[in-house]
Amino acid sequence: MAIQRKLMSAAAAVSLAAVIAAGTYAWTNLSPRKINEWRGAGSPGTGPGGTLHDDRRGSGDNKDVYVENWGDRDLFVRVKLTEYMEAGQGAGLKSVSTEPNTDVIIHNPLNLAESITGSGDIDHTDTWADIRHRFFAPGDPAPASEGRYYLGNYWNWEMGGQKYYYPASADLRKDKNYVDQSSPDNLTAGSVNDNGINARLTHPAAVMTMNDWKNAGQPIGDYWIIDNTSERHIWAYWAAPLKPGEATGLLINKVALIDSAFNTYGAYYDFGKGYYYAVNVIAQMATKDGTADSNGVKDNYERFGDANQGGWSADGQALMEKLVNADTAVDAAVYSQTYIAFGDSVPAGYALADPETESYVSIFAKELEAEGKTISVSNMAVSGMTSAQLLDALNNLTAAEKDKLANSDIVTVNIGGNNILGPIIKNLNQAVNKLGIENVREVTSEQIKNVLPFLKSFTPNAGLLTDLQDGLAAFNSDFPIIITEIKAMAPHAVLIVSTVYNPIPPDISAYSTVNSLIKSINSVILEGRLTYGYEIADTYAAFENAELEGITVTNFNLDPAKGPLSVDIHPNATGHAIIAQLHLDLMNGI
């Protein structure tokens, strides 16, 4: 069920300017601009790094404005809203030409509409009305006294709340002019977009004026603070550091035309010939630290105070200084993430000389730390685990484990291999027992030589085939429940699922049977990506490609020419490094 949002009063349209920098990672973005528009005639109706989201879709009144932090540094965020409305013949027609020598915009002669506020024009957003009188301060004239000039008498804004959203595309957000509009209003916790990305939940938000915030004790938290004490630009400040992977609460969530406006003010404006309304949104984002230019100007949150970036009031500056110096601000050097690994003997690091350094779980975490993060790892993998056993483990987590999972940032799952290979090992044990070998898992290279023809020609009998089909059926049943439960318990984590590799080479008789079953398991994993929203580390394809290139990725070997004989099906250190790189590539692409 979609999140029900707490509403206040307010409307909108969008343009973006962003400043992001940290240490030597200075990055500024002050150019994107987007405006949402409402048009009509005659009778009442309804209208409607970091990335600004402006989710106005279709002709409805929904309009969600919020900011996402997809980078790896804390961001400090502020947004400026301005609005404009005109009515009459040609309303909404913009300039189509400029003066040849000066590039001065020439007003469209077909636009004879009148500005509702009595000032400003459609072609110059810097002349549009700020939202001062939607949040009037003591001493300001009451909005009602402005009557027909007050846009709040025409358009109602609903502000605050939260929603599920799709994170900005990794490819699109590289464009500094990009404003994301990809998240409809009906998303839920289980929503997945066409790229297989699952929806996330923004922070909640309440909206208050600067004076209200000061009177409340200047709390740091999920608030938009409207700085209506400023004499010039009215900015809304997010009253907390915005953490990586998170999004602010909604500043605006709905804009609706007030039905009585046409009747009340119809004597002043010719609404029958048309009207145009738009809201301009400028978002600025910055880090606490930044590099200084040759003039000593730091490329960080202090840029908010520059006159050419809109400046700030004394109250606005004090708010920002409070936020950047608060204990809640996280320095990049100590930025931490929690990583939880579920699965079988592969993530457990079975058969490696030093699982603490050679397993893909350890390598993956170490590489993430090399990027400046502190990674807390909980490896909950158990050798021999089947899909049924993983499901049972999830249903019996301790309170502490559930809490850790709920706050996790990354979860990886490697499961399904034992559903197929477990019955094969069991059957092989029964067969080699008759040949004088107690346990095929502990067989020596010399013992393998004695039973090499048997191992190469081994094919599943009818009883084993039944067991294998049962293992596949169990996986088909267990896997969707496993993913659903993990997604529910770790709603904000990036979930990565590995496909199952085939450790048996094509020259072994059992290859075709085993490969067919493993591909059936992998088809469930691959097809579930869009349904459940997770990333896929395709170990099967990576190992297959490596073997084609002559790279040995498992310990299994029945060819004396290639070295010591082994029936150990687990990845070697090289195989684990490949799996770790698959995971790292996915994280770098998110």
Can you give the pLDDT at residue 46? 24
3-state SS record for 35-58: EEEEEECCCCCCCCCEEEEEECCC
Ordered per-residue pLDDT tens for the chain, 590 residues: 232 222 222 222 322 222 222 222 333 333 334 454 554 544 332 222 788 888 875 555 678 899 998 877 888 999 999 999 999 999 999 999 988 888 899 999 999 999 999 889 999 999 999 988 888 655 555 555 568 999 999 999 999 989 989 988 877 876 767 888 889 888 887 788 887 787 888 988 999 999 999 999 999 999 999 998 777 789 999 999 998 889 999 999 888 888 888 889 999 999 999 999 998 998 888 888 877 777 777 778 988 998 888 899 999 999 999 999 886 544 443 356 889 999 999 999 999 999 999 999 999 999 988 876 778 899 999 999 999 999 999 999 998 898 889 888 899 999 999 999 889 888 877 766 766 766 666 778 888 888 888 888 988 999 999 999 999 999 999 999 999 999 999 887 889 999 999 999 998 999 999 999 999 999 999 999 988 889 999 999 999 999 999 999 999 999 888 888 888 899 999 999 999 999 999 887 65
Say what the pTM is.
Answer: 0.55
Residue 550 to residue 532: CA distance in whole angstroms? 35
pLDDT score recorded for residue 15: 25
pLDDT at 36: 46
CA distances from 274 to 40, 42, 56, 129, 265 (A): 6, 7, 21, 20, 14
What is the Cα Rg of the chain in Å? Answer: 30
d(CA 332, CA 337): 12
State the pLDDT at residue 21. Answer: 23
Sheet holding 374-379, edge to edge: 374-379, 336-343, 410-414, 494-498, 535-537
What domains are defined for the chain? Answer: 18-329 (no CATH), 335-589 (3.40.50.1110)
Q: What is the distance between the alpha carbons of residues 546 and 460, in angstroms, rounded to a whole number?
A: 27
Element (H, E) at 445: helix 445-450
Residue 198: per-residue pLDDT: 79
Q: How far apart are CA 327 and CA 105, in angstroms?
A: 49
**Short-list 305, 150, 332, CA closest to 237:** 305
User: According to the model, what pLDDT value does residue 27 have?
Assistant: 33
> What integer pLDDT is reported at residue 136 of this predicted model?
66
Residue 557 bridge partners (DSSP): 566
Please tell me the predicted confidence (pLDDT) of residue 426.
Answer: 83
Distance CA 385, CA 368 (A): 27
The string of DSSP letters for 454-511 reads HHHH----HHHHHHHHHHHHHHHHHHHHHHHHHHHHSTTSEEEEEPPP--S-TTSTTH
Q: How far apart are CA 265 and CA 39, in angstroms?
A: 17
| Residue corresponding to tokens 């990576």 | 542
